[in-house]
Structure 1
Amino acid sequence: MTQKGLKPFFLLIAIGLIGTMGVKAGFKHDITIEEESQTVTMTTFSQTVGAALTHADIELREGDVVIPSEETRITGDLTIRVLRAKAVSLVEGEGTRTFFTTETQVGKILAAAGIELDDNDQVYPRKSEQIALDRKIEIVRVDVDYEEVSETLHHSTVYKLTEDLEPGKTQLLSEGEDGLSTCTFKNVYENGVLVSRQLDDQVVSREPIAEIVEEGLDKLLVTSRGMPFRYKEMIVMRATAYDLSYESCGKYPGDPAYGITYSGTKARPGVVAVDPRVIKLGSNLYVESLDSMRDYGFSSAEDTGSAIKGNRIDLFIENRSQALRYGTRYVRVYVLDEPIDENMMIGYAN
Structure 2
Amino acid sequence: MNCEDTKTAYWIIAVLGFVFATLGFASSKAVAVYIGQELHVGVTFQKTISGALQEMGLKIDPSDRVVIKPAGFVVSDMDSTFRSGEKIEFEKANPVIIQFDGMRKQILCTRKNLRNAVSKIGIKLGPLDRIQVSEDPYRPGTMLTRVVRVEHKLVRRKERIPYEIDYVPNNQVHQGKVAVWKLGSGGEREDLYREIYEDGKLVTSTFISTRISHRPIHEEMAIGEAEMPGGAIEKILVEATAYSPTVAECDADPWTTATGMRSGYGIIAVDPAVIPYFTKVYVEGYGYAIAGDCGGAIKNNIIDVFFYKPEEAMRWGRRKVNMYVLEWPKRSQR
Give the TM-score, by structure 2 length.
Answer: 0.34
The structure having more radius of gyration, on CA atoms, is 2
Give the TM-score, by structure 1 length.
Answer: 0.33
